[in-house]
Amino acid sequence: MYETNKSEEAVKHSEMETAAAAKMQQKSLRMYGVVALVVVLILGAILYTQGFIVAAKVNGESISRLSVIGELENQAGAAVLDSMILDILLEQAAAEANVVVTDLEVASEIAAIKSQISEQGGTLEDLLAQQGLTRESLAKQIKTQKILAALLLSDISVTEEEINAFIEANGPFPEGQAETLRPQIEEQIKNQKFNTAAQSYITGLRTQANIQYFVDYE
């Protein structure tokens, strides 16, 4: 009887050792799996974020995006910052005056410009490329002009005396042509007044605004 019990205990002990070894093996496999997954994730993250950190590599030598941004700041930081400040000032002025320029209005203006250029045998893309602009920068310019127009044009007028003075200063015109050109002359004078008023208005916004600079671009 004693021999039998001893044999059963030995078998149970052996089974427990086998089970423990199997658990250890499973644990090791899981650990290896976790390590392998972490390595894959790290490699994937490096490859994915490389474009965010590294702009280019030249024979293995990296050029960081930060260095590119730094160079751009040195070249045009002041102009870009000034433009962004102006955008905010105009947006604030427009909000205060309840002036809203929608994306649809801007898109309609771009479509009209595109149509005019097409009638002359050109393309909008070519014109933008010649002037170093993109559709986004064109849309920004149009929105700025529309905001300024909404804020200022109602106070701009052209008198008959001003039109007559323009005709006298730029004449003589062929008989009858001066009268035909009066609407165009009026529009030209109005545009000149608007441009002058816009510059003065923008200067006033800057003067009155509380602008704090934390970077000194030369």
More confident residue, 165 or 44: 165
**What is the pTM assigned to this prediction?**
0.67
| Helices of type H across 97-176 | 103-119, 124-130, 135-152, 160-170
**Mean of per-residue pLDDT scores for the chain:** 80
Q: Tens digit of pLDDT for each residue in 151-201?
A: 999 999 999 999 889 888 887 778 778 788 889 989 999 999 999 999 999
Q: What is the pLDDT of residue 162?
A: 93
Q: Tens digit of pLDDT for each residue in 138-154?
A: 999 999 999 999 999 99
**pLDDT (average), residues 93-101:** 94
Residue entry with tokens 């002058």 = 196
Q: Which of 140, 155, 143 is nearest to 193 (CA)?
A: 155
Q: What is the pLDDT of residue 41?
A: 55
Q: What is the pLDDT of residue 122?
A: 87
Instruction: Assess whether pLDDT exceeds 60 at residue 1.
Output: no
CATH homologous superfamily of 77-208 equals: Porin chaperone SurA, peptide-binding domain (1.10.4030.10)
Q: What is the pLDDT of residue 6?
A: 44
Q: What is the pLDDT of residue 170?
A: 83
Residues in contact with 73: Cβ distance below 8 Å, sequence separation at least 6, in sequence order: 217
Which amino acid, residue 203?
T
Q: Which helix (H) or strand (E) holds 62?
A: strand 61-64
* In the chain, where the domains are located: 2-58, 77-208
